[in-house]
Amino acid sequence: MTQTVEAPIEAPESDYDPFALESLQDPHTFDGASREIAPVVYIKKYDYYAITRFTEIQKALRDWRTFSSTDRPFYAPSPFRPRTLILEDPPEHTASKAAVFKVFSEENLAKMSEYFKAEAERLLDELLADGPVEIEAFRDLAVRYVLKVFPDVLGLPEDGREALLKFGDAVFNVFGPPSDLQAQKLARGAEGQEWVETNTAKELQSEGGVGWQLYQMAEEGKISEHTAQQILKSIFAAGFDTTTTSIASMMRAFADNPEEWQKLRAKPELVDNAWEEAIRYYPASRYGGRVAKKETVLGGVRVPEGAKLLTMWLGAGRDPRQYTDPDEFHVDRDLKGGHLSFGFGIHTCAGNQVARLEARTLLRAMVERIETIELAGEPRRAVNYQSFGHEHVPVRLTPAARA
Ligand code: HEM
């Protein structure tokens, strides 16, 4: 018996505009609606494609030869976007990634871990010293913690660290159409750029720090000096906006779901899972980009050669084909199938171990010290093309009675 193979369909055309202000203000609704049209949607307005569902994004990212990283929607060289890693395919990418894995080795992460724990505990003890307290979780918790611990291990000066947030915010607005929003973000990012250029220079790296180790690899001939600086810039670019806004988002998720906080307090062994759920529920990165090197079929949809594609992982994080009750936040959700909030395949987030360590360490210290988290005002999301998160989360924290 011969099996009939269904011919692929053309990607349904959509008027959906992922970059319209209404989409940026409520991406879960708009990216979710396009996910329900088809696994691959043609975005007429820009002549680009969006891969919208979990399974198809995973499938595409497994096949880097077909779905290359060397081009993408709205790609134009920009001083905010280092060319290494995210814009490379193997073999260049393999060498750059190996260098990052070396600086974030198990040994280095173990050293960071002790330091992150001490600082998380110190900050929380200070915030909770006088009993119940109202704080703005983005500034008072996430930014204070992240801008202290990670730049310290990178060996950066205390002064001017806010530049990292401005720079990061611009980085995540490069891949999108020209607009007033983009112009504003890039102008603000330019204020951070000089600081970033200065602090990625070889002569300023303190001995033993992450930058110093990268330049050492250059001296040993493993990577070029240019690549060392570009990798360091990638770490600066991707390592701050993401972690701060995702910690603020996690605070909102707990404030909106007090029973989940109590569940976690009763079972602190769920901390790691709870944070994975928080990043699935509120991913810090909304999409990535690729180019199809040859014609192919994804989820029964034809993808033409040369198609530029967005990989919509925020929408995929709420894909009902992958998750039961995807719009609910449950610290004990079974996440064995994983999530795409750190991407997937060879470009999986190079800093995911650091991001996980930072967030889990903070969450563990919170679980030991905080009885309840309640909203104390209206939270506000950050409006940004590529990143997603909260920039204002007022909360009331009630300390737990401690032995
Ligand atoms: C919650 C925090 C973070 C989230 C949600 C996040 C998310 C992501 C995602 C989705 C990708 C894949 C991009 C793609 O395939 O197109 C990525 C790549 C990357 N991330 Fe992160 N990231 C986070 C934190 C960090 C940190 C802390 C660092 C640095 C220490 C970092 C450095 C990078 C780099 C260098 C890449 C490029 C990797 C490659 O191309 O192989 N990220 N990140």
Summarised one tens digit per residue, pLDDT across range 324-356 is 999 999 999 999 999 999 999 999 999 999 999
Residue 399 tokens read as 């300390």
Taking the chain (403 residues) in runs of 10, the rounded mean pLDDT of each run is 76 95 96 98 97 98 98 88 89 94 93 96 98 98 97 91 94 94 94 91 90 94 92 93 97 98 98 98 98 98 98 98 98 96 98 97 98 98 96 98 75
Residue 3 lies in a domain: no
- In the prediction, which pLDDT does 1 show? 53
What is the residue-averaged pLDDT of the chain? Answer: 95
Q: What is the pLDDT of residue 208?
A: 86
Both tokens of residue 287? 């999409």
Domain that includes residue 212, residue range? 9-399
Q: What is the CATH number of the domain that holds 323?
A: 1.10.630.10
What pLDDT sits at residue 79? 81
Residue 82 has what pLDDT? 80
Q: Which atom of ligand 1 is nearest to the CA of 345?
A: 15
Supply the residue whose CA is at minimum distance from atom 11 of ligand 1: 349
> How many angstroms is it from 16 CA to the middle of ligand 1?
26
Asked whether residue 287 is assigned to any structural domain, the reply reads yes
**Cβ atoms within 10 A of the Cβ of 335, count?**
15
The Å distance, Cα 235 to ligand 1 centre, comes to: 8
Distance from Cα 305 to the centre of ligand 1, integer Å: 27
- Integer Cα distance of 196 and 35 in angstroms: 37
Burial of 55 (0-12, 13-18, 19+ CB in 10 A): middle
Measured CA to CA, the distance from residue 316 to residue 335 in angstroms comes to 14
- Taking a C-beta distance cutoff of 8 angstroms, is the pair 18, 38 a contact? no
> Please, what sign has the CA dihedral across residues 220, 222, 223, 228?
negative
The residues with which 50 forms a beta bridge, in sequence order, are 41, 310
The atom number, within ligand 1, closest to the CA of 347 reads: 41
Q: Which two tokens stand for residue 169?
A: 């915010």
Q: Mutation test of ligand 1: which of 156, 231, 352, 354 has the most ligand atoms closer than 8 Å to its C-beta?
A: 352
In a domain, 1, yes or no: no
| Strand positions, DSSP E, 113-159 | 133-136
Is residue 324 packed enough to be buried (19+ CB in 10 Å), middle (13-18) or exposed (0-12)? exposed
From residue 26, how far is each of 35, 174, 338 by CA, in Å? 14, 20, 24
- Name the helix (H) or strand (E) containing 317: none
Number of separate domains in the chain: 1
Is 324 a member of any domain?
yes
Atom of ligand 1 nearest to the CA of 283: 5
- Which ligand 1 atom lies nearest to the CA of residue 346? 41
In a domain, 4, yes or no: no
Nearest CA to ligand 1 atom 30: 351
Q: What does the DSSP assignment read for 339-363? A: -SBTB-GGGS-TTHHHHHHHHHHHH
- Asked if the structure places residue 304 within a domain, the reply is yes
Please report where in the chains the tokens 């994983």 appear, as a residue: 338
48: how many CB neighbours lie within 10 A of its CB? 18
The pair of three-digit structure tokens given for residue 280, joined into one six-digit string: 């699935």
CB atoms within 10 A of CB 159: 8
Largest CA distance in the chain: 77
| H-type alpha helices, 158-240 | 163-171, 180-199, 210-219, 225-238
Cβ 175 vs Cβ 385: under 8 Å: yes
For a ligand 1 pocket test, name from 349, 360, 390 the mutation site with the most ligand atoms within 8 angstroms of its C-beta. Answer: 349
pLDDT tens, 58-112? 999 999 999 999 999 999 888 888 888 999 999 999 999 999 999 999 999 999 9
What single DSSP character describes residue 89?
-
| Residue 239 forms part of a structural domain | yes
CA distance 352 to 246: 13
Q: Which residues pair with 303 in a beta bridge?
A: 296
Residues with CB under 6 A from ligand 1: 85-86, 97, 234-235, 238-239, 242-243, 246, 279, 283-285, 288, 341-343, 347, 349-351, 354-355
- CA 381-386-392 angle, to 5 degrees, is 15
Closest alpha carbon to 386 in 74, 3, 12: 74
pLDDT at 76: 84
- Element at 92 (helix H, strand E): helix 92-103
**For residue 248, is it within any domain?**
yes
